[in-house]
Amino acid sequence: MVKKEIRIDYEEYVSVEEMSEADRALCRAAVEALEGSYAPYSHFHVGAAVRLSDGTVVKGANQENAAYPSGLCAERTAMFAAGASHPDLDMESIAIVARQDGRICSEPAAPCGACRQVMAQYQTKGGKPMSVILVGADHIKKFARVDDILPLIFDNI
């Protein structure tokens, strides 16, 4: 037996001002996307924004439903909208932000496993790393590729 380790490197920013203009704009779009959140049950609002290979930004927000499993997370809402409306463009980056009690959560919200799996597949489809930016009020975490938040990816496609 050999003990091994999986290491995750990421960048942490104290403010969006430290980021590239494109990433800053994507973070802003994720915050704007919060306005589309429909969360009458959890009152936990999530916004996401996907940047495509031509610079187009597509927003999404969580959509809840009385039949709970019929709702959808912000990330998948954004990615499916991007995939459906721009099937020939690749997804280059996704930014995610959460708001509760009227305030952006200080700790960045981490995407659920199902959303990570969907990110993984669009990354594979595009053939290039998709960066993942988790926006919190106190700091921002940027992961260079989906593999960094989903080690041992299942992408048997």
Largest CA distance in the chain: 52
Closest residue by Cα to residue 27 from 120, 102, 94, 91: 94
Site for ligand THU contains 112 (CB under 6 A): yes
Size of the site for ligand THU (CB under 6 A): 13
> Least distance in Å: CB of 132 to ligand THU?
11
Stretch that binds ligand THU, among 51-59, 69-77, 132-140, 144-152 (CB under 6 A): 69-77
Query: b/e for 81-91, b at 16 or more Cβ within 10 A?
Result: ebbeebeebbb
Contact window for ligand THU (CB under 6 A) among 20-28, 84-92, 108-116, 131-139:
108-116
* Annotated active-site residue in 35, 75, 92, 107: 75
Q: If binding is defined by CB under 6 A, does position 42 make contact with ligand THU?
A: yes
- DSSP letter for 38, please: B
CB count within 10 Å of CB 39 equals 18
Rounded-to-integer distance, Cα 20 and Cα 68, Å: 38
Has 107 been annotated as catalytic? no
Active site residues: 75
Residues making contact with ligand THU (CB under 6 A) = 39, 42, 44, 46, 62, 64, 71, 73-75, 111-112, 115
